[in-house]
Structure 1
């Protein structure tokens, strides 16, 4: 079982590196790792389990965050329209995106960052992601708003990019041009 002790924290060089592609067909070991990553997210969102094991809640987890340089992510969340996303993805890639951008007005957080980092994180408002799922099937997701933000955050981890790298250093709360807030209720 993955716990917070397994989560790599900022400053660790693996979080600044580009993760290596995963060989397909997916090996059992990679499949098991993805299942464990997904289980962490589910456990972290279960109040009793999270409290018992001191888990910080998360909606996404990338393999570099558990010390593996592999292009794998797990996501487990519901978007603002009630659509559930719960999947392990191998070699996810953004194949298209909108010009329009969005951001969460209360900012972003990260399991690998133990501090608050204030500021807006501009993201594409709409993206199309292609990947291979945990069963080895190709998938293509067209995402917007919160779902698009979550996937971009996790895919950034595979490219050695942290969420705060996107924040305007001079003016963290400046709303970039052509950008609208994507608010959580």
Structure 2
């Protein structure tokens, strides 16, 4: 909607540099390149570092993130790609399944910024990917950075209610555990 303004949160700040993985599908190369430029600039502006990997399509992005979470050493992830409506129902499948998979990973505690564009036309994608216009790549990186900041804020030592690994692992000589 023309003339509508949106609130943009201040950039996340870090004591220790965050390390992010950008997973991108370059299916629409020009759009992907703009998304990537925006994401990289935002991560670097926040003092973070990043690596980038490419996958064939939007459906493979969540799988790559899942593999990286199990085998890599990243604080967060940026998912970038573009799905443009075609003549078949494949559009709905790719949009819904890629979004759902990223959401499921996020609910497991991964810090993911979703920059997979789902649009009706090439022109809509170009506007959203443009770093001087909507900059959705930068926005996805900013989202991941904010989630990393939250994770670090809440990820400190636990005390009070509940069990901790220290409590569960403190075994007496007779094999019982103590609190």
- TM-score, normalised with respect to structure 1: 0.25
- TM-score, normalised with respect to structure 2: 0.25
**Between Structure 1 and Structure 2, which shows a larger proportion of helix residues?**
2
